Amino acid sequence: MNTKNKLMKKIQLIVAFIAASTLAFTQALQKAPSFETIKKADKSISSNNSTNTTKALGVALWSSDFSTATDWTVGGNGAQGAWVLGSTASMPFPQYYTFIQSTTVANGIAYFAGIQYLLNNTVTSQNAWIEMTNNIDCSSESIVSFEFQQAYRAFNSDNTLVEVSLDGGTTWEQTIDINPNIAANTSTTETTAIRNFTVNNSSTVKFRFRWENTSTASSGSGYAWQIDDVKVSTLSDHDIAISKYLYGTTTFGETLYYHQIPLSQTTGIESSAVLANRGSQDQTNVIFSASESINNVYTGTSTPIAMLTNTSDSVAVTTNFTPSAIGDYQLDYSISYNNVDDFPMNNTVDSYKFSVGEAIYARDSSTQTSTGAVYGQIISTNITPLDGMEVGNKFTMTQTAKLTAIDFQFGNSISAGDSVFGVLYDENLNVIPNTQTETYIMAAGDEGQLKTLTLNNPVDLLAGGSYIATVVSSSSDFTVASAGKSAPQTSFIYYMSDATWYYTTSTPVVRMNFSPATLASETAMTGFNQLLGAPSPADSFNVEGYNLTGDITVTAPTNFELATNLGGPYTSSVTITNSTGTIAPYEVYVRLNGPTINLAQAGDIIISSNGATDRLISLQGQTYSYTVTSIGAVTNTSPNGVGTSVGDFVSLTGVIHCNNFRSNGYDIAIIDNNNDGITVYNNSAISGYNALEGDEITVEGEITQFNGLLQIVPSSITVVSQNANLQTPTLVSVLDETTESQYIEIEGLSLINGETTWPSNGNVDVTDGTTTFRVRVTATSPLAGTPTPTGAFYLTGIGKQFDSSSPYSTGYQIFPCGVGPSCYVDVSVTANGPQLTANATGLSYQWIDCADNSVIAGATDQVFTASNDANASYAVIITDGACVDTSECIFVAGLGVNENEFAGVIIYPNPMNDLLTITDENGTLESVELVTATGRIVYRSEITTNQFEINVADISHGVYFVNVKSANSAKTFKVIK
């Protein structure tokens, strides 16, 4: 069953082009070259009869060279267009066709032109003729020969007809289409046409030329038909003509011939012809011959037949030609019989030229794709709207083979940036699954270029199966080169705008490619991070090969190494041995091992094999070393909030504040002694380390930035110490860049939306009455899922940021790790000698010794009486419900203490700024310490001079106590920052 019968979808002849704009037509109509750039044969195939025998040529009964206009009468049915008696100079738009090269062209010609209607988008039905004015007396002839010279270029739906009348033009009969198989945008090569007509000894014979277009489609007309040097003659005695000839790898009838054939797909090439005896004599021993003329390796002949005058018969060579080696071939065709042919021109036909190679299966006749020559083209602008197209050819397999790619040639117009890919169909135009090629992106300069689209998965094509290889693009300006002609229903176009398949008789340059091919599971690999001095961890990819004629070699770029086993050995290249032509997926390992720091290591792995297109895998990585620096040095930002140290590999040390805000991996803040902080973030744990508050750690990693938040992604974490002192939370009233990764406190807060429970993992908005703050409670936060405060409260936690785009100036948050009520407890104390009284009444009290912040056992009353034995300082911790606060230290002089020892001690300024100065005029002080209101010592030092300074720039705001000691006693001073 042939393809025409098998196709279940609507297949329409491409001559039924639908177009809706002048521009579309202009692009569809191709300008004819000034000479034929593709010749069907390099030489004429002449008759093998002797040229020395006298020939009985027909006698001319009538002739016209169009020098006498009255010999002809122009007519028509009133439809569009008319024949013109004129010259080539009067023809419209001559750039779209070639002028006739007739013997007497200078005397005038007749022509019908349709080009002007195509260009104007005004084509309607056409039926026009030009006929002989006067009758011819053929009373002595039953059959005559009608000969003329012509030039014709076809487009879509036109017919070029010759008809005869035996009654002086009243009725017309024996209609013959002179150019029935000329492909669109193609010129006829039959420049001299001869046809026999039966005239039945009529004395009132007329002939006429008729142009017909029955299509009403706007692209239905042809370019032009030119006629000259018409002659009516008696028949020659001996004239055998080849009226049709067929060649190819199919049976007689519909042919499917190739111009490039893989050696594995060669089979018998059939040569057939339809012969017509146009002479007046019967002929015997008529033989049709085919011979290979480049290598002289074949001659085939048909079985001799006899032919009566004015009859036709079909013949075929008895032995087909099967090429057996790679090379170029040419089959020439001729006829012979027992007499000398009087008119050998009509038994001269074009040769069949083709080549046999390793891998390419081509239906088109182009031999110049490598030079970018475009002989014809199929365009996507013949249908509106301009939605792209799909175009391809049918191929039949003689042997099972693995298809690795589809080749095609661009036409003269492309749209840079648009995409094209290939796909495979069965003979019923059903897509074969998993047969899509890689996608190619069109680029400037692609016009006329041959491209190879490698299949993502090579496809097994079965012997005896027919397949259609196509290329597809949704581009509104997509063209595919064409060369040669196709039998109907063997080359196809699908227009996306009307979702319809058509067939075309112009052969698109779309080919099957069975070349060796390599495949790789990856096209790009990134993330190779190499610490200088040791290779990076290895990654892997798979390599496979098909139709191979050699081994596969995989070559690494500079500073990368390959191995076929994870453990090595690693080298600059590896070879994968081919023994069967196919290599199943084979794992190859790659790692980075650069000798110097380079944060932009890059290159391509090259996968190569004999005859195969190289496959590339792009690699990116970095070779780095860690720079020991401070947190403050790597947390600077640009005016847009972009970190200036992003991408640096550093080693930082700090103390973990608050908890880990991730259940897996790390989201922790480390803060150093300068109170500079940074977030340590990673999706997974490093060497099993469990982050704990108070751990002093050294982190080696890369500085990154995520949604504005600067962070270090660790590759190693080392614990320096545990239970280290924490920074006092900084009391803030706004969240901004200065609070990022800082340990902060916000007071006087209330819930905007009145939530009664903190979320288990989500956001809450709070306010201090002036500013709204975003609170991010993670699943690991101590607050997650717990009740919210019922009154005003404070939060302690880590400042963060979540801003999706630069400039990073919004999205500031607090990740809380502590909450409590906002308290205002009266902690004032009245001193009366050794008796100290807390002014707040009705609360809970605990007196402490400020020397070491130790609790004084039993001292839990509002009034406390100190011992008179020695000088000392005391304070009281007052508890009012959930609120706890501590008074300043009150100095009580003992009976044995000389108060004058501290008369010369001055502490200033108070409140403190960056420096706190202690002056000891008497020189009696030995040591000093700075203590927080909660009793934590933040500074301690020996005093060796009369004036001493403490740097308090980095301590948090709040109440502090300065304890100074002499050899015999101590005194406490309260200061504020």
Would you state the structure tokens that stand for residue 775, as one six-digit string? Answer: 């609170």
CA dist 907 → 169, 780, 935, 945 (Å): 135, 45, 19, 14
Cα(341)–Cα(51) distance, integer angstroms: 9
pLDDT at 906: 87
The neighbouring-strand residues paired with 320 are none
For 60-234, which CATH class?
A: mainly beta
Cα 816 to its chain centre, rounded Å, is 45
Nearest Cα to Cα of residue 481 among 373, 568, 353: 373
If one counts every other C-beta atom within 10 angstroms of the C-beta of residue 761, the result is 13
Q: Does domain 626-822 have CATH number 2.40.50.140?
A: yes
Nearest Cα to Cα of residue 696 among 721, 665, 663, 717: 721
Please classify residue 869 by burial: count the beta carbons closer than 10 Å to its beta carbon, then call 0-12 exposed, 13-18 middle and 19+ buried.
exposed
pLDDT tens digits for 862-920? 999 987 666 678 899 999 877 888 888 887 766 544 556 677 788 889 888 888 898 88
Cα(157)–Cα(182) distance, integer angstroms: 11
DSSP 205: B
pLDDT at 590: 99
| Contacts (Cβ under 8 Å, ≥6 apart) of 535 | 561, 570, 591, 592, 593
Give me the DSSP letters along 498-563: TTEEEE-SEEESEEEE---EEEES-SEEEEEEEETTSPPPPEEEEEEEES-SS-EEEEPPTTEEEE
Nearest Cα to Cα of residue 406 among 463, 467, 470: 470
DSSP 136: B
Nearest Cα to Cα of residue 227 among 102, 400, 412: 102
Spans of the chain below 70 pLDDT: 1-57, 217-220, 249-255, 381-386, 868-871, 893-901, 933-936, 967-969
801 membership: H or E segment, kind and range: strand 793-801
DSSP 23: H
For the chain, what are the domain ranges?
A: 3-7+11-16+377-513, 60-234, 242-325+336-355, 518-622, 626-822, 829-892, 899-976
Q: Are strands 627-628 and 649-657 parallel, antiparallel or unpaired?
A: parallel
The neighbouring-strand residues paired with 132 are 72
For 899-976, which CATH class?
A: mainly beta
pLDDT at 183: 74
Evaluate the omega torsion of the peptide bond into residue 729 and state whether it is cis, within 30 degrees of 0. no
Give me the DSSP letters along 618-674: EEEEEEE-PEE--HHHH--B-TTS-BTTTT-EEEEEEEEES--S-SSSEEEEEE-TT
Q: Which CATH architecture has domain 3-7+11-16+377-513?
A: Sandwich (2.60)
CA dist 677 → 575, 634, 693, 812 (Å): 51, 10, 14, 15
Would you state the structure tokens that stand for residue 961, as one six-digit string? Answer: 């106590």
pTM: 0.59
Q: Do domains 3-7+11-16+377-513 and 626-822 have the same CATH topology?
A: no
Nearest Cα to Cα of residue 425 among 360, 490, 474: 490
pLDDT tens digits for 792-808? 999 999 999 999 999 99
pLDDT at 118: 83
391 membership: H or E segment, kind and range: strand 389-396
Q: Which CATH architecture has domain 518-622?
A: Sandwich (2.60)
Torsions phi, psi for 955 (to 5 deg): -80, 155
